[in-house]
Structure formats: structure tokens, C-alpha cells
Structure 1
Amino acid sequence: MSDLLLREDRERVRTLSLNRPDQLNAFNQELYVALAEALGEADGDPDVAVVMLTGVGRAFSAGTDLLEMRQTAAGADDAGASHGFVGLVDALAGFTKPLVVAVNGLGLGIGVTLLGYADLAFASSAARFKTPFTTLGVAPEAASSFLVPRLVGRQNAAWMLLSGEWVDAEEALEMGLVWRVTSPEGLLATAWKHAATLAARPISSLVAVKETMTASLRPGIEAARELENAKFAELMGAPANLEALTAFAEGREPDFTNLPPGA
């Protein structure tokens, strides 16, 4: 397993911890691939009943590594992070066992949208959430245009996805984006206790319950991903996206006021 992802097994709960703390656990190609592979391994391991996902350091995940994304948008990296991203979303959508997420700090982009695939989501009171699609000049991802409204309601989803503004832990709890908010010190213990409760149940029954709960969602997820991917490809490398990524690399706020009409 990659050093970018830590693993611990205890009482049929496998804890996976994103481990790029100096980059706020932003997903580069290697981390996307590592987590996708780890989910696949856990799904096929008869000794694992539940997976718990969290982050090391002060962030859960800052989303996609924007420096790598800039290389992709500029055409310097033909593969970029897109292949690893798609593989991770495939793994999340196909994961058959309970997935418990413990958001320990900042969550941006995929650090928020993967909550659509969580069966239980816990957050530290220090957590904050942001879906920065419009501030990056791109489209939604990971079927978030379908899953986030189901979690938080259409207007809350519209605000999150359209504005790119921060949502704090209490707002996320009130919306339904997360199930419980705890103190930072108590987050992992609380999330693990609930994961262990599930893990004491028969795996075959856990899988059956999750399948029956999610089967009706699959057509919507597939349709949303197809449309999102098409829109993302259309906007990736377009003027707004290049301005956003250039501004990030230069350490300034993007200026979208001088873009071509319609951009």
C-alpha cells in the first residue's frame, strides 16, 4: 500500500487514513489510485466488514491537487488526475460494504462529494466543507449533482454547488450532509464505535441491506456521472478554468470579469 494511505485493522473495521498532511490530503494521481485499490481490497476481504475513512492532520481532503490539475488543463499531462479520479468514483459507487467517513477537518471537492457514497458520515466541530466547482470554472463531479440534493435538499445543494462558499460543521449537520458532529478529540472514537457496532453484524446481511438501499440510486448516479463528465471535459482548460488554476498557482484570487462573453 502507498505511504499516502495508512491502514489499520481492528475488530473487522478497516480504517483508511489519507496521508498527505502537508498538502492537506489533496488527491494526486497516486492517492486516487491507492484509495481505489484499498477499497477494492477491503471489499473482497472476508475479514473486513466495514471501512472507515478519515484524514491525517488538519484536513480531511482539500480535493484534487490543483497543481496537477493545472498541468492536465494546460495539456502538459495527458493522463493527469482524471484516470485516478474516475477509478476512485467507480470504487466508491461499487463498494458493497458499509462505508463510514470521519471528516477531521477541511473538506473540499472530492473531500465533500464522496460523502454521497458514505453510509454514515461524522464530522469534527472544526470541519468545514466547500464544493469549489464554480470558483474553478468547472462542473460538478462524482454524481454530486444527483447525490448532494438527495442528502441536503435542492436549495441547500444549489447553494453549495453554485456558490462554492464554505459550510461549517453545524450547518452541514443541519442540512443532513453529515450524521453526527463531535469534538475534534472525540471524532475518531465516536466514528469507530459506530463502525464497530456495524462490524459485529453478519457481513452477508450488511451487504444485502446496503444493496437494497442503494439499488434504486444506481441509474441516477450513472446518468449524473455521464453528464458531469461531459460538462467537466468541456470546461476543463477553458478560459475560466485556466484563470482559476493560474490564480491558484500565483497565490491570488481569480478574476472572471474579463473573460470572453459566455465564459
Structure 2
Amino acid sequence: MADVVLVEDRGRVRWLTINRPEKLNALNREVLAALERAFAEAVAEPSVGAVVITGSGEKAFVAGADIAEFQGLSPAQAQALARRGQALFSTIEEAPKPVIAAVNGFALGGGMELAMACHLRVAAENAKFGQPEVKLGLIPGYGGTQRLPRLVGKGRALELLLTGAMIDAATALSWGLVNRVVPQAELSAIAQKLAEDILAVAPTAVSRCLEAVNVGLEGPLAEGLQMEAALFGLCAGTEDFKEGVSAFLEKRPARFPGY
């Protein structure tokens, strides 16, 4: 039986591929558990500097949750399922290493929520995004009602949430939902290059940037600025900072030690 999440290291970039192409990579309990394990291992592995999450095949990133598992769900069971997905996606969003979604096809429901939990999103030209849960009598349960308005604004988010409509990759780009739209054949290479570009700079600074943005968005600007100053100070005590300044002044490439 094939693994539902494939793990591959390409240099210091770990690729996690949701692998249920016959089900358009739909999320079920088995996939969530496998993704939990694989992502925790990627974060804990010192040799891994960045993570890319994608779907198997060219039709779908993740086409949503596995609706077959919804039959007979009680309200309590549904809430528990939502909290599990939310916990995993929050772990991805709060990771100290950059996480890129390489969106190859449909990113619907839980798939769109997974992509939004990643720090950056690169979409193939054939990508489609949507939160169709209202068509099932549900609302998004893995963070969609919270992350989507933060990314595209309240009005656009509500349009998708209330209609269940899909948008194409070009619209997603114009709305700020994705960072780049690229040809399907180039998606993997461009996502890898983006990860490698991030790995070329100071890893401690990357981690602090992620922390500053994630935490700062949750509160008032004044608190965010205070935290930014504190993290700026912490960076100044690192070997990465010393190396970065020395390399700049000596007009040579930096060799960041990563602490």
C-alpha cells in the first residue's frame, strides 16, 4: 500500500507530497496523521532548512476533505475533527522554518486551508481555489474563516465563503492569495528555487521574521512593534548577525552558521 504522504529531500528542502491521486489527494484521518508525523520530523531535522508541501499528480493539490468520513458525524465528533485539523495547520503556520505550498490543481476546502497555513504559495496556472463547505451545509473547519480574510480582506473572503465559488490562479494572484503563478511544468523547479533563495540568507533572521509576522498580526500595531524591536535585538546577539555584517563589510558572500 502506497504511503499517503511521500517524503523527499532535495538538498536542504524537504518535499511532502499528499499522495492520494485517485481521490484528488483528499484529506482523511490517515492523511492528517501522516502529515502530522512528516511535518514534525521535518521541523526537528537540523539538515532540513525549508519545507514544500504539494499534491501528487497534476490535477489536485488537495481537493478537500474526504466527504465519505463526514457521514454520521455527530456535532461533538465534527468539532473534534475541526480542532485536529486546526492544530496541524497552526503548527505549519507557526513553524520556525519556511513552508511553501506548491499548488498543482484544485485547492478546495481543506486543501485551500492547508495552502493558506503555509507561509508562501506558488500556484500552477491550472490551480483553482475555493471553500465550498456551504454547499454541504458546513463552514470551513480548518481555519478558512480566519486565514482567508486576513489574506484577501473581508469582502473577498466572504464572497468565497458564502457562495462556495472557485477562483482561478490569476484571480488568486490579483487578490493576494498566492505569491506567484507559474506554468504547471515549472511549478516544482520554481518552488524549489524559492526555498533555496530563502536558505541563502540568515536562518535565524528568517525564523525571527516568521515569528514577528505571525505573532504581530494577532494584536495591536504598538505591541507588534515592541515585539519586533525585541526580536531585532535578539538577532544582534547571533553568530549569523556577526557573519552577515562582516561579509558585507568585507565584500564577500556570507557563510551563515545558523545560530
TM-score (norm 2): 0.77
Distance 1:187 1:165 in 2: 24
Which runs of no fewer than 5 residues in structure 1 stay unpaired?
A: 221-263
What is the number of residues matched between the two proteins?
Answer: 218
Which residue does 1:185 correspond to in 2? 185
Equivalent residues in 2 for 1:74-93, closer than 5 Å: 81-82=81-82, 84-93=84-93
Deviation (angstroms), 1:213:
1.3
CA gap 1:214/1:78 in 2 versus in 1, 3 angstroms: closer
Q: What SS does structure 2 have at the residue aligned with 1:201?
A: coil
8 A contact 2:103–2:115 mirrored in 1: no
Which runs of no fewer than 5 residues in structure 2 stay unpaired?
A: 221-259
Equivalent residues in 2 for 1:162-241, closer than 5 Å: 162-218=162-218
CA gap 1:160/1:79 in 2 versus in 1, 3 angstroms: closer
Distance 2:79 2:131 in 1: 23
Q: Which amino acid aligns with 1:59?
A: A
Which residue does 2:6 correspond to in 1? 6
Q: What SS does structure 2 have at the residue aligned with 1:48?
A: coil
Q: Which amino acid aligns with 1:32?
A: L
Q: Which amino acid aligns with 1:212?
A: A
Distance 2:158 2:38 in 1: 32
Q: Which amino acid aligns with 1:70?
A: Q
TM-score (norm 1): 0.76
Q: Which amino acid aligns with 2:60?
A: A
Which residue does 1:152 correspond to in 2? 152
Is the deviation greater in 168-177 or in 116-125? 116-125
Which residue does 1:112 correspond to in 2? 112
CA gap 1:152/1:80 in 2 versus in 1, 3 angstroms: closer
Deviation (angstroms), 1:82:
4.7
**Greater RCO, 1 or 2 (C-alpha within 8 Å, sep 6+):** 1
Cα-Cα RMSD: 2.3
Is the deviation greater in 135-144 or in 10-19? 135-144
Q: What SS does structure 2 have at the residue aligned with 1:6?
A: strand
Distance 2:80 2:25 in 1: 17
Q: What SS does structure 2 have at the residue aligned with 1:72?
A: coil
8 A contact 1:29–1:85 mirrored in 2: no
Distance 1:143 1:68 in 2: 19
CA gap 1:119/1:86 in 2 versus in 1, 3 angstroms: closer
Q: Does 1:70 align with 2:71?
A: yes
Report the identity percentage: 36
Deviation (angstroms), 1:118:
2.0
Is the deviation greater in 65-74 or in 54-63? 65-74
CA gap 1:25/1:154 in 2 versus in 1, 3 angstroms: same
CA gap 1:162/1:198 in 2 versus in 1, 3 angstroms: same
Equivalent residues in 2 for 1:6-155, closer than 5 Å: 6-57=6-57, 58-73=59-74, 81-82=81-82, 84-155=84-155
8 A contact 2:94–2:214 mirrored in 1: no
Distance 1:63 1:211 in 2: 28
CA gap 1:78/1:59 in 2 versus in 1, 3 angstroms: closer
8 A contact 2:93–2:118 mirrored in 1: no
Q: What SS does structure 2 have at the residue aligned with 1:121?
A: strand
